[in-house]
Structure 1
Amino acid sequence: MRISTLLLFFLSFSAFAQYEYEPSKDYPFGRPNPEAPQQITDFSAMIGECDCKSSTRNQDGSWSEEIDMIWRWKYILNGTAVQDETLKADGGHSGSIRQFVADSSRWYVHWFSSKTPSTTLPTWEGNKKEDKIVLYREQKAPNGMEGFFRLTFYDMSESGYKWIGEWVDKSESVVFPTWKINCTRKKK
């Protein structure tokens, strides 16, 4: 009887350790796993929930009216990756899975959207550079010029953060912003 009780305790503790860094009652947005690469904390300023305003560029070059949005972030895969989701007032929801791959020393971000379901997810890659996180995905401009769609998180703090999506040429000397989001912390 004693051995079975001890075995049950050990199995319960072992199962808990497998999920120790997942979102829970005590940690609703999970926690970074100390066994993960140190870069797992690059997105720590975003973990939690923010109220945001999102605006995209119109065809005429002006900016659209801002859309209210909730941007929610959490640690997943037992604290070894980051997931985010956006809930927009216009019904255009999206999300990403973010994994840091130590072999390439880069973040890989796989994006999905309710408005544009896809059989393969577009992927951005990049790193934290000083006080910004910068990610790139190859994309031609409408005129056929080679370049990237660049995503940048900046002004990251406990009170919120900003995000901008821009088309840039290969040298990054031509920069055309197409989407911007400003976020204010709601929950951590």
Structure 2
Amino acid sequence: MKKLNSIIFILFISLTAFAQYDYDTSDKYPFGRPNPEAPEQIKDYEAMIGECNCKSSTRKQDGTWNEEIDLIWRWKYILNGMSVQDETLKADGGHSGSIRQFVADSSRWYVHWFSSKTPSTKFPVWEGNKKDDKIVLYKEQKAPNGTDGFFRLTFYDMSETGYKWIGEWVDKTESVVFPTWKINCIRQNQ
């Protein structure tokens, strides 16, 4: 009887241990799944989960746009479906990624960004929310002339076929808007 109880206990512990990863990436769910215990906002990024082929372009100093660079933008649920991670794999070798966590106490997303070209001991952080059909994130940043403002990131036109992203410097009132980076993504077959 003691041996049977030990076997049952070990099976219970084993099943419990595996259950804690039910929403992580797996063969069946290569990009994970949202955990039902996560804040409902975990689904804000639902349209991006998976992999897209994208075209990225940044603005030159003279105001014109650089040639587009190909990139793969890959998204998945992490931390057993409680957060979102993305990574970009760029044809020019400049790879980057983010960890995205929704903090219920502040009702905001916090996005911690990192890059292979600019390693850092302290990651820059954007914060924001989904507004209507867009995700809008901000980080304080001065303009080259010293004017206070933000670097605003916006995901829009999100659908099953892809999405668009734009990075813009905006003043504190958001009446001055200067786009500096844009990315257009088309979803790959899953």
Worse-superposed segment, 2-11 or 69-78 = 2-11
**Hey, what's the Cα distance between the residues in 1 that align with 2:149 and 2:90?**
28
Counterpart Cα distance in 2 of 1:159 and 1:2: 53
Please show how residues 30-41 of structure 1 align to structure 2 within 5 Å: 30-41=32-43
1:13-162 equivalences under 5 Å are: 13-162=15-164
**Structure 2 unaligned regions, length at least 5:** none
Query: Which amino acid in structure 2 is aligned with residue 36 of structure 1?
Result: A
Deviation at 1:35, TM superposition (A): 0.4
Q: Deviations over 1:71-109 (max 9, x none)?
A: 000000110000000000000000000000000000000
Correspondent of 2:176 among 151, 174, 177: 174
Structure 1 moving runs of 4+ over 2 Å: none
Question: Partners of 1:118 and 1:85 in 2: how far apart?
Answer: 16
- Percent identity over the alignment? 79
Paired residue type of 1:102: A
CA drift of 1:161 comes to 0.2
Per the TM alignment, residue 9 of structure 1 is displaced from its structure 2 partner at its CA by: 1.5
Normalising by structure 1, we get a TM-score of 0.98
Quote how far apart the aligned CAs of 1:61 are.
0.5
Distance 1:13 1:169 in 2: 53
**SS of aligned partner of 2:150:** strand
Once the two structures are TM-superposed, the CA of residue 4 in structure 1 deviates from its matched residue by 2.4
Provide the rounded CA distance (Å) in 2 between the counterparts of 1:10 and 1:46: 36
For residues 163 and 5 of structure 1, the distance between their equivalents in structure 2, rounded to whole angstroms, comes to: 53
Distance in 1 of aligned mates of 2:159 and 2:150:
27
User: For 1:86-133, what per-residue CA distance to the aligned partner results, in whole angstroms no more than 9, with x for missing partners?
Assistant: 000000000000000000000000000001111100000000000000
* TM-score using structure 2 length: 0.97
Letter in 1 for 2:35: N
Q: What is the Cα-based RMSD across aligned positions, in Å?
A: 0.7
Q: What residue ranges of structure 1 are gaps of 5+ in the alignment?
A: none
